[in-house]
Amino acid sequence: MGMEVKLGVAYLSPLRSEKRESFVLNRAPTGHIYWTDMGTGDWGSPEGLVMKLYGLTYPKAVIRIKEDLVFNKPKEIKEFKPQVKIVERSKYVFSVDPRPFNRKDKAYWTDYGITLETLKKYHVAPCRRLAIYENKIAKSVFYERPSEPQYSFNFDGNYKIYRPYSKVKWLSNISQTDVQGLKQLPKEEKLLVITKSLKDVMLFQEMSIPAVAPHSEVSFLPAPVLDDLKKRFKTIIIWFDEDKTGKEMATKFSQLHMLRTTFTGISEAKDITDYFKLFGATKTQNLLREKLDIA
């Protein structure tokens, strides 16, 4: 980014044009650096960021990073010299003011096949107000409007905030170790779907299919979690978005972890909830039977 970067501090996103800083670097418990675009909800590794910025495949992104991190040709360099200095982060805290579901909320989620019972099961609630604190100082406050509802996804006191009709669609302070839908899984089952969002997880739940999701498609489940799930579920299938990033990341993770992949198969509905909204319950059930080999 051409300057000293502090972990936990928001900067203008390099991925899109914006007026409010929403791009943040953080350090995971493993020590690895990851980025979050709070305006879209996207996040991931440095490799994933380069893939998005330059439209590269994963191997080419690794090469690009290597080239950018050194001042001379790789064969002449014994060690890499970073172009930016990383400073330890400060923690963001989200303060959420929930409210009861109203008729408009229920209608919105019903369009995607998700019931009030399932929303409550996954700790989703409408949100009147969100305040974001850093070192006990309020940095930003977001109020919902009649035309711009917002919903909180609660992960043990950390949150993803979903604002479907707003310019800043996603806000989040959850970490890459938070797996969406993990606590709602059965002890064991024949099939598990790894998808890309809690919204999709909830629709799979409505169709009686256990599902989980990492923070985004450019990241994956922590290794200990995946190892545990492989013991509990006979078949695990990755179902990411029907777009370039979704397909590339699904392929990468399927090859790395020896898992099957599938997609909706049509560009008009890149994910399963969009498919439900376009075609309804019966066609969605038929698609699931076809893609997941369900009898």
H or E stretch including 163? none
Q: Dump pLDDT digits (tens) for 99-126.
A: 999 999 999 999 999 999 999 999 999 9
The average pLDDT across 259-279 equals 95
pLDDT higher at 192 or 168? 192
Q: What percent of the chain is predicted at pLDDT more than 90?
A: 51
Instruction: Write the CA distances from 151 to 37, 52, 85, 238, 252, integer angstroms.
Output: 18, 27, 36, 26, 31
Report pLDDT for 22.
Answer: 76
User: pTM for the complete prediction?
Assistant: 0.71
Res. 75: pLDDT tops 50: no
Average pLDDT, the chain: 85
* DSSP state letters, 1-42: --S-EETT-EE--TTS--SS--EEEEE-TTS-EEEEETTTTE
pLDDT higher at 240 or 42? 240
In the chain, which residues fall in CATH 3.40.1360.10?
182-292
Res. 256: pLDDT tops 80: yes
Q: Dump pLDDT digits (tens) for 197-225.
A: 999 999 999 999 999 999 877 778 888 89
| CA-CA-CA-CA torsion sign (112, 118, 124, 127) | positive
Report pLDDT for 3.
Answer: 62
pLDDT higher at 141 or 76? 141
In the chain, which residues fall in CATH 3.90.580?
5-87
Res. 71: pLDDT tops 60: no
Reported confidence tier of residue 42, pLDDT bands at 50, 70, 90:
low
* Residue carrying the six token digits 């919902």: 144
Topology classification of domain 5-87 = DNA Primase; Chain A (3.90.580)
CATH 3.40.1360.10 describes domain 182-292: yes
What's the rounded Cα separation, in Å, for the pair 169 and 25?
19
The average pLDDT across 2-31 equals 74
